[in-house]
Amino acid sequence: MSTSRAVRHPRFKLLALLAVFVLPLLVAWIMVAWRIGIPEQRTAHGELEPDIPALAQWPLAEPRTMLPEDGGWVLAFDCAGACEALADQWWRLHRALGREAHRVRRLRIGGAAQALPGEVVARWSTPPDWHRPGHLWVLDPRGEAVLGYSAGVEARDVLDDVNKLLRMNPEPSVTPGRQVAQQ
């Protein structure tokens, strides 16, 4: 009786070991083949806006000093009404970015209020046809519009998207004084 128990025990271990490695592969194959358990929802809260031109082509009356030289991201918002509340909301969002805040600049278009810290204020020379009051755009380091948000968007949704963008696009590491030898 002890020999049958000794024979079954190693077989059970082998079957358990095979199940640990084969079962996840089988489950993954079933999920892909029959589209079971695969999420179909989108992860961004904003809308893709490929028709918005680059920031350098926006019809702004002020000089183009708002595009960061270091290639940072830009939160540009059209401040038509309730400008002070909008500017404060996006300032608070900028502060909520924490140690990643230095990678993002804010561009407020319109409004008569004084610029908040870290904010550049500009005005439309002629409002473009794609202009929408209260709209917010997230621009990549090249000045291209990545996401757009309609007026009344929740700040936490924008913060979630900006955090994802910053995480997916890490800051390039620069080592001062180190040069690569060219041949």
Higher pLDDT, 2 or 74: 74
Residue-level pLDDT at 37: 79
CB 74 within 8 A of CB 68: yes
Residue-level pLDDT at 183: 38
Q: In the predicted model, is pLDDT for residue 43 greater than 80?
A: no
Residue-level pLDDT at 96: 92
Helices (H), the chain: 2-34, 83-96, 155-168
Q: Report residue 22's pLDDT band, with 50, 70 and 90 as the boundaries.
A: very high
pLDDT exceeding 70 applies to what percent of the chain? 81
Sequence-separated contacts (24+) of 6-14 with Cβ below 8 Å: none
**Residue 26 buriedness (CB in 10 A; 0-12 / 13-18 / 19+):** exposed
Number of helical H runs and strand E runs in the chain: 3, 6
Q: Report residue 70's pLDDT band, with 50, 70 and 90 as the boundaries.
A: low
* Arithmetic mean of pLDDT, 173-179: 50
Chain CA centroid to CA 177, Å: 31
Residue-level pLDDT at 137: 92
pLDDT exceeding 90 applies to what percent of the chain? 16
Residue-level pLDDT at 118: 78
Q: Which helix (H) or strand (E) holds 122?
A: strand 119-122
